[in-house]
Amino acid sequence: MEMTDTERRAMDFLLCGDNETLAILRAQLATSSVVRRQLTGHGFFTHFHVSEAADKLPSPGRFVIEDVHATFAEIEYPVGFILFVEDGAIDTLEGFAYGDDWPDTATITRFYYVRPVPSSAEGGLSVLEETAERDFQWEHPRPA
């Protein structure tokens, strides 16, 4: 099973950057295959198998890279992408729409990076804002 154009472009953007972690994950992607894709109506989950011979990240457990969003011509609200890394290897790519159904065909108008910023709303939840420079906060593994 091959990656779709949207999946390929999202992975390229998620793994873009001059960073050792990203370099290892890019090398894994080059030797990986899609083993399953689940469509949810509001997005998808694409599951990967990484070659046993591929270099793995040294940290066990799970962490996520979740700083990529995009706009599609077909829907009003942005979409987000999350890459789940499990036991040092890429595992699952999630794509999701914020207020719309996932379109049958996606015309990507642009990708961009986001970062959390504290909200002034009661409860102090963070909101995501677009950022010109990527913030590598995700590099410090945290439970997903």
List the beta bridge partners of residue 49: 33
What is the residue-averaged pLDDT of the chain? 89
Distance CA 37, CA 34 (A): 8
Q: Which single residue is written with the structure tokens 């894709």?
A: 37
pLDDT in tens, 64-93: 999 999 999 999 999 999 999 999 999 999
Residues contacting 125, CB < 8 A, separation 6+: 119
Q: Give the pLDDT score at 142.
A: 46
CA 115 – CA 66 distance, rounded (Å): 9
3-state secondary structure of 9: helix
What number is the average pLDDT over the span 24-51? 96
Give the single-character DSSP code of 53.
Answer: T
Q: Which own/partner pairs from 35-40 qualify as long-range (CB within 8 Å, at least 24 positions apart)?
A: 35/1, 36/1, 37/1, 39/102, 40/96, 40/102
Segment 99-144, tens digit of pLDDT: 889 998 889 999 999 988 777 766 666 788 888 888 776 544 444 4
